[in-house]
Amino acid sequence: MAGTKAGGKAAAATNKTKYGSNFYAKIGAKGGKLGKTGGFFANRELAREAGRKGGRISRRTKTVTGPKNRAN
């Protein structure tokens, strides 16, 4: 049953039986410890710069200014 919800639960149960009940916790801990960059927590200036860029680049559509939008 690969690719189904039931298949995923069966695979998770098999992994926990084979490798211990904390199998997924160990995988998650490895991902956090093996990171090389440190992320924004380690570099506050990088976080500040990214926030500045994100705030500058707006996702809103531009308003149309022209004769149709002017109140006479």
Q: Which phi-psi region, left, alpha or beta, contains residue 39 (left: φ > 0; alpha: ψ -120 to 50)?
A: left
pTM of the complete model: 0.44
**pLDDT at residue 61, rounded to an integer:** 67
Three-state secondary structure readout of 21-58: CCHHHHHHHHHHHCCCCCHHHHCHHHHHHHHHHHHHCC
Tens of pLDDT, residues 15-67: 999 999 999 999 888 876 776 666 777 788 888 898 888 877 766 666 666 66
Give yes or no for residue 71 having a pLDDT over 80. Answer: no
Under 8 Å between Cβ of 55 and 49: no
The per-residue pLDDT for 51 is 85
